[in-house]
Amino acid sequence: MTRHIILSYGRSTEHQRAIFAILSFWSWYTGDRSTIKTVVYTDQPAAFAPYLEGLPIEYKLLTPASLEEMYGPQRYIHRAKAVIIDQLFRDYPTDRVLFCDSDTFFVASSDELLGLMQPGVSLMHMREARYVDSVTKGVSSEEVQGIQKAVDYIDSHPFQIGSRQHQFQKTQFMWNSGVLGLTEEVASLLPDVCATLDTLYRNGKWLVTEQVAFSLVLPTKTKLLASNHYVFHYWFKPLKVLMDGLLAALLTPQFTTLTVSERLTKVKHLTNKWPHLIVLSNAREEVIRGFSGGGVIHGLKSAKLAVDTLPSSPFNAKFAKSLFNVLTHKPLR
């Protein structure tokens, strides 16, 4: 059995992102539904049920108390992901786990992605920067100091992974954990992931410590493969704002009256359309803001950051024409 995991709680926008993420997975899935189940960890199962009716969904209720326990004594919210995966492997030690962040959606065959989940391999979303190059610009000096402290700690302290001590390097690459595809062979590593992220967060308060821990620990036993050709991850805040507007217009009471087949067909069509639409819309806003405010270079860099989230290179003739229209302030069609 493969357990497709979604974690979503808090604001209604978080729920809507997760609903679309789940629908996108099933819209691209053509295999045997008896071999896979979506498990939704949420504080509001009732917010999901009308949109997901007819699909193999299981709900796990999150309470304030259970969330606090997952956060741990340092109250690190992203620790919940590692704790949930660890518990899943304890409960179902021979199952596979595909954890997708709520701000993701499938843009290609979920069957093919599941086929990549083989012994010796772990999936993450995509490779990012080296740790040494990950000190974020545009954040407070206190945050910069914390990130630098965590990066230096990675390079200067051994980490206990299983029965061995590992010395990592800050020149290693960090991977985005918006997608985690894990097989039973890494189940024993999850306590080490939790211990590693607890240590690093205590020594830097880095917001992405959770993905740092997965990026360090998983390669000690498996090869990391990217999944960004299958899954679009709109983690960039301006893209989330644009997506929230699109989702609010889609996920209406009328949408719930559609059959499950009609819902999945509609969603699959949108997964082909929305990545380029929101990236181009964001590029337009960033470039126009840059020109009007005198920060042209900043606007172009922000636009590039959004383009880099696309699951594959967008630079074909159609995209080039659309980008030209953005730069000349012409409306998108």
Handedness of CA 109, 111, 113, 115 (dihedral sign): negative
pLDDT in tens, 282-299: 776 665 555 555 554 554
Q: What is the pLDDT of residues 202-221, one digit of tens each?
A: 999 999 999 999 999 999 99
pLDDT for residue 190 is more than 80: yes
Position 134 pLDDT exceeds 90: no
What would the mean pLDDT of 125-150 be, rounded to a whole number?
Answer: 85
Q: Give residue 300's pLDDT.
A: 52
**CA atoms of 182 and 119, how far apart (whole Å):** 9
pLDDT digits (tens, 9 = 90+) for 250-263: 999 999 999 999 99
For tokens 């995966």, name the residue. 85
Kind of pairing, strands 96-100 and 2-8? parallel
Looking at 21-30, 59-68, 121-130, 316-325, which range is the least confident one?
Answer: 316-325
More confident: 197 or 284: 197
In degrees, rounded to 5, the angle at the alpha carbon of residue 139 between the alpha carbons of residues 138 and 140 is 130
Residue 81 has pLDDT above 70, yes or no: yes
pLDDT recorded at residue 333: 46
Residues 89-100 pLDDT 10s: 999 999 999 999
DSSP string, 259-286: -HHHHHHHHHHHHHHHHHHHHHHHHHHH
- Rounded distance between C-alpha atoms, residue 191 and residue 193, angstroms: 5
Confidence (pTM): 0.88
Per-residue model confidence (pLDDT) at position 82: 98
What number of H helices and E strands is found in the chain?
A: 12, 13
Q: How far is CA 303 from the centre of its chain?
A: 20
For residue 158, the one-letter residue type is P
- Could you report the per-residue pLDDT of 302-319, keeping only the tens digit for each? 555 555 666 655 545 555
Residues near 56 by beta carbon (within 8 Å), at least 6 away in sequence: 33, 34, 36, 37, 38
Phi, psi of 329 (to 5 degrees): 65, 25
Q: Is the pLDDT of residue 177 over 90?
A: yes
- Domains belonging to the chain, first-starting first, are 2-232 (3.90.550), 234-327 (no CATH)
Determine contact, residues 21/117, Cβ cutoff 8 Å: no
- Per-residue pLDDT, 144: 87
Distances (CA, A) of 271 to 22, 99, 333: 12, 19, 17
Question: Which two structure tokens, joined as six digits, stand for 211?
Answer: 């993905």
pLDDT at 321: 59
